[in-house]
Structure formats: structure tokens, C-alpha cells
């Protein structure tokens, strides 16, 4: 897990019991999250789960129906005490999906605008603007207007504007989703570098698990207006809390099973066709009799005609239903009791298997065992 040294004056964020209703629609329900000073947190979830609303509440652009938010030692919202510090007094930097630059201002004026608002003496502006520009890797385009810049350059200006005012917290709402893939990748790296260099506590809203895993120290998975799992990127990707989180982070294969016994990091399971299987298990305790699923990504599974022998690979018997050629890949559909698994392998290996044939599906002994 990456950690960044908090520089002086860096603030943590505390979100306590935040609820938000729009009329009769409940969008957030009793959400709490502690964010350490200087950390990079991703709010990860599907469209409509409420992650943007939570970020906007931290920003002061939306007001919670209930709850408390503290930034550093300052309470910025407390519904019970009727505290609600205006957005422009919260000392935040914000970057959104749309760059939201002022079209009539030059790059320099855009970046300096928050400095003016904050009352930074004019004599300090050039140095602050230059340092923010250098931070985001923009060439000297100070006199251009936003319309004369590419999308990537505009987003760099938006990031420079957000950090020039030395905010306590940086809030990013899908800032890279309008950019093409290679530019997005480059700017992701730069966002992480900016965070590490400036040490600003950062919250990123994203629906992209890869982006969350690449940037964040801590990922909070949001679903249906609540946080369902908080952990490091590897916690979330390797030990998702349940089947729904697993599907969301790229697990495509689920084998249903019932727990026979679980102790000392091992779990014994029985599959729907009566086969038994033992796996390593580091996740939540699963009592005997519990209905679970074993999650795998399609490239983590393999097929073989014999039982696997290696110690860190387990095997279960199945019946090959079909093989589909997909360019350099080959997909095998295998029936195991009532379940169907799809296994993707490189088509290079010469493995002739006939539909109807009994084969072995191999999986890692650390494949996660999840609540259904």
C-alpha cells in the first residue's frame, strides 16, 4: 500500500452519518468515511450510486439532509447545529469531467482567478501560476484562451487552477473521462505525482476500477447510496466483499457452493454437483452451511484433461459444452453442476477437447469465497 508523507497543514476529512434525500428519493443513507490527511481516496461505484452527490456535499455544492463533515479541525457541515460553511470558504480545489474553464479568460487569468478570490497579493500570482503550470506539465501557453487548447491541455489547466490556491483538499469528479485512452493514462500518472508532490488529501470519484486501483491508497466502493467496502486497491480487487462488488471489479465467473468447514485459513466447500473443493480463505468467516460463490476472472481459470498437481492450483471436474475461437484466444464453456464457467486461454496451445468430454477446470487456491 502506498502512503504519502503528509506535509504540514494537510487536512483529513471525516464524513459522519451523511444522508441525502432529493424529495422522496433517498440518494445517500447514513454514509461515514474517515480519510487520513494526505491520502488519495477513490469513491468507486456504478452510475447513479450516489458518489457524485457525496463529493458535492463535501464540496459544499450540495447540502446533506443529515450528517456532519469535518475538514481538518473545522466542522464544515453539521445539520443538527445548522453549520454549513459556504463552498468558497472551504479551501478546496475541484476538477470536474467538463473542464469548466472560463472561456473569456486566458490560461493565466483562469489559474490566477482563485488566487484573487482568496486575497493572495497580486505580486505573488506569477510565481504561483508558474509553479502550478509546471506541476501539471503544461508548456507556456499562458496567453491562450481555453478554446485554443486541446482537451488534455484544458484539463491540465483545470488541475493547475485547482492546486494554485493550495487547497486543503482536492476533489476530482471523473476528471479524465473525456480524454482518449493514452492521454487518460498519462494524466492519471500525473495526478498521482501531483498528489505525492503536494501531499494534498484527494478524493476521486470514478466508475473505473482500474483508475481507482492505479491512483488511490484507499478505495471506498459505493452502491445504492451506501459504502459497501473500504480497503486498499488489492483488498478490493483480490478480496471483494461480496458477489456484487466482485462483478463490479471484473470477476466474471462464479461457481456456487456450500461451506462444509472453515478454519485456520482453509475452507472446504461442496459444489452443486456434490464435488468437494478446498481453498485458502483469508476473508470473512463463513460458517458451515452458508451458501457462497467462488469468484474468478476468466483469465485466471484454466482447463486441463487431467487433475492438476501443483500445490497452489485447485481443480474441479466439469463437462466441456463448447469451444469458441476468438482470434488469438479461445473460450471454453464448461458446465459444473448447475453452473457455467467461461474460460479464456491463448489459442497457441494445441489442446483438442471435444464437447461432452469431462475435463478439469483449474483455479488459484486463493480464489475468493464470497457471500452470494
Query: Interface with ligand ATP includes 207 (CB under 6 A)?
Result: yes
Residue 51 or 330: the one with the smaller Cβ distance to ligand ATP is 51
**Minimum distance between the CB of residue 175 and ligand ATP, rounded to whole angstroms?**
13
The helix-helix angle for 107-118 and 125-135 (nearest 10°) equals 120
Query: Interface with ligand ATP includes 102 (CB under 6 A)?
Result: no
CA distance 242 to 240: 6
- Binder of ligand ATP out of 10, 13, 15, 27 (CB under 6 A): 27
CA distance 62 to 54: 8
Query: Closest-CB residue for ligand ATP?
Result: 52
- Binder of ligand ATP out of 24, 25, 312, 326 (CB under 6 A): 25
**Minimum distance between the CB of residue 147 and ligand ATP, rounded to whole angstroms?**
26
Q: What letter would DSSP give residue 242? A: B
Residue 64 or 295: the one with the smaller Cβ distance to ligand ATP is 64
Cα distance between the two ends of the chain: 28
The site map against ligand ATP for 39-68 (x = CB under 6 A) is: ------x-xxxxxxx---------------
**Minimum distance between the CB of residue 371 and ligand ATP, rounded to whole angstroms?**
23
The closest alpha carbon to 19, from 28, 9, 32, belongs to 28
Helix (H, G, I), strand (E, B) or coil at 104: coil
CA distance 15 to 234: 23
Query: Among residue numbers 3 through 22, which ones bind ligand ATP (CB under 6 A)?
Result: 22
**Minimum distance between the CB of residue 164 and ligand ATP, rounded to whole angstroms?**
26
CA 31 to chain centre: 17
Residue 57 or 303: the one with the smaller Cβ distance to ligand ATP is 57
**Minimum distance between the CB of residue 198 and ligand ATP, rounded to whole angstroms?**
25
Longest distance between any two alpha carbons in the chain, whole Å = 79
CA distance 37 to 12: 4
Number of residues that bind ligand ATP (CB under 6 A): 12
Exposure string over 64-84, b if 16+ CB within 10 A, otherwise e: bebbbbbbbeebbbbbeeeee
CA distance 50 to 18: 12
**Minimum distance between the CB of residue 242 and ligand ATP, rounded to whole angstroms?**
19
| Burial (Cβ within 10 Å: 0-12, 13-18, ≥19) of residue 101 | buried
**Minimum distance between the CB of residue 36 and ligand ATP, rounded to whole angstroms?**
23
Q: Give me the residue label for grid cell 483529513.
A: 12
Query: Among residue numbers 225 through 244, which ones bind ligand ATP (CB under 6 A)?
Result: none
Residue 22 or 102: the one with the smaller Cβ distance to ligand ATP is 22
Interacting residues toward ligand ATP by CB under 6 A: 22, 25, 27, 45, 47-53, 207
Amino acid at each position: 500500500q502506498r502512503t504519502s508523507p503528509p506535509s504540514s497543514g494537510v487536512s483529513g476529512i471525516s464524513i459522519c452519518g451523511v444522508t441525502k434525500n432529493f424529495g422522496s428519493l433517498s440518494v445517500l443513507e447514513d454514509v461515514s468515511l474517515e480519510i487520513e490527511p494526505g491520502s488519495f481516496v477513490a469513491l468507486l461505484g456504478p452510475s447513479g450510486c450516489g458518489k457524485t452527490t457525496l463529493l458535492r456535499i463535501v464540496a459544499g455544492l450540495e447540502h446533506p439532509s443529515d450528517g456532519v463533515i469535518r475538514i481538518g479541525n473545522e466542522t464544515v457541515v453539521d445539520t443538527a447545529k445548522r453549520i454549513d460553511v459556504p463552498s468558497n470558504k472551504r479551501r478546496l480545489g475541484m476538477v470536474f469531467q467538463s473542464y469548466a474553464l472560463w472561456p473569456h479568460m486566458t490560461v493565466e487569468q483562469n489559474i490566477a482567478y482563485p488566487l484573487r478570490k482568496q486575497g493572495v497579493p497580486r505580486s505573488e500570482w506569477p510565481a504561483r501560476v508558474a509553479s502550478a503550470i509546471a506541476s501539471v506539465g503544461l508548456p507556456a501557453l499562458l496567453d491562450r484562451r481555453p478554446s485554443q487548447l486541446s482537451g488534455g491541455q484544458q484539463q491540465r489547466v483545470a488541475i493547475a487552477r485547482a492546486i494554485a490556491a493550495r487547497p486543503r483538499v482536492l476533489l476530482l469528479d471523473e476528471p479524465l473521462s473525456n480524454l482518449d485512452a493514452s492521454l487518460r493514462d498519462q494524466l492519471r500518472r500525473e495526478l498521482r505525482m501531483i498528489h505525492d508532490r503536494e501531499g494534498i488529501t484527494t478524493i476521486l470519484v470514478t466508475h473505473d476500477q482500474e483508475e481507482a486501483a492505479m491512483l488511490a491508497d484507499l478505495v471506498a466502493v459505493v452502491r445504492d447510496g451506501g459504502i459497501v467496502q473500504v480497503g486498499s486497491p488489492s483488498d478490493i480487487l483480490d478480496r471483494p466483499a461480496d458477489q456484487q462488488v466482485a462483478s463490479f471489479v471484473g470477476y466474471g465467473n462464479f461457481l456456487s457452493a456450500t461451506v462444509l468447514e472453515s478454519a485456520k485459513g482453509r475452507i472446504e466447500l461442496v459444489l452443486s454437483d456434490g464435488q468437494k473443493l478446498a481453498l485458502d480463505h483469508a476473508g470473512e468467516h463463513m460458517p458451515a452451511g452458508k451458501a457462497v460463490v467462488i469468484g474468478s476472472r476468466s483469465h485466471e481459470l484454466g482447463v486441463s484433461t487431467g487433475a492438476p498437481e501443483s500445490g497452489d492450483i485447485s481443480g474441479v471436474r466439469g463437462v466441456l459444452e463448447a469451444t469458441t475461437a476468438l482470434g488469438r484466444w479461445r473460450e471454453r464453456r464448461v458446465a459444473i453442476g448447475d453452473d457455467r464457467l467461461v474460460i479464456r486461454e491463448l489459442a497457441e496451445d494445441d489442446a483438442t477437447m471435444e464437447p461432452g468430454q469431462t475435463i478439469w477446470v483449474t483455479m488459484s487456491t486463493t480464489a475468493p469465497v464470497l457471500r452470494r
